[in-house]
């Protein structure tokens, strides 16, 4: 997990059972940048979203399947960061796409 500004951190894949721990670490929201079905055994967005809500976290899904999605979804990411309670944890498989999306959304 890497904090990239005072409101946003990025990480690799998180499991549904990690939501309570994220809440106890102070996170108030999560953003998934990972498309469903990207690899076998990956938790689905619906599983992650349900666990996040059960833990009292706000959750949004802004999937990035490849580099072409970065510019197209950067506005969605920027709006989510502006609208969601902070701090926010954004994640994908390794954290790289989330970090790149953050950079593109900041212009």
Q: Which domains does the chain have, with CATH numbers?
A: 2-105 (3.90.190.10)
d(C-alpha 92, C-alpha 107), whole Å = 20
d(C-alpha 107, C-alpha 87), whole Å = 21
Confidence at residue 2, expressed as pLDDT on a 0 to 100 scale = 97
The tokens for 100 are 């790149």
pTM: 0.95
pLDDT above 90 (res 107):
no
- The answer to whether the bond into 87 is cis (omega within 30° of 0) is yes
Please give the C-alpha separations between residue 95 and each of 35, 53, 59, 92, in angstroms, as whole numbers: 13, 22, 17, 5
Tens digits of residue pLDDT in 31-85:
999 999 999 999 999 999 999 999 999 999 999 998 899 999 999 999 999 999 9
Q: Please count the other Cβ atoms lying within 10 Å of the Cβ belonging to residue 42.
A: 16
């Amino acid at each position: 997990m890497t904090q990239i500004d005072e409101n946003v951190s990025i990480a690799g894949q998180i499991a549904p059972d990690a939501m309570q721990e994220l809440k106890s670490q102070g996170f108030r929201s999560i953003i998934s940048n990972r498309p469903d079905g990207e690899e076998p055994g990956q938790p689905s967005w619906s599983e992650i979203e349900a666990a996040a809500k059960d833990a009292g976290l706000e959750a949004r899904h802004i999937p990035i399947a490849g580099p072409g999605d970065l510019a197209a979804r950067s506005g969605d990411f920027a709006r989510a960061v502006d609208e969601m309670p902070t701090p926010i944890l954004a994640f994908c498989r390794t954290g790289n796409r989330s970090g790149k999306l953050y950079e593109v959304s900041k212009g």
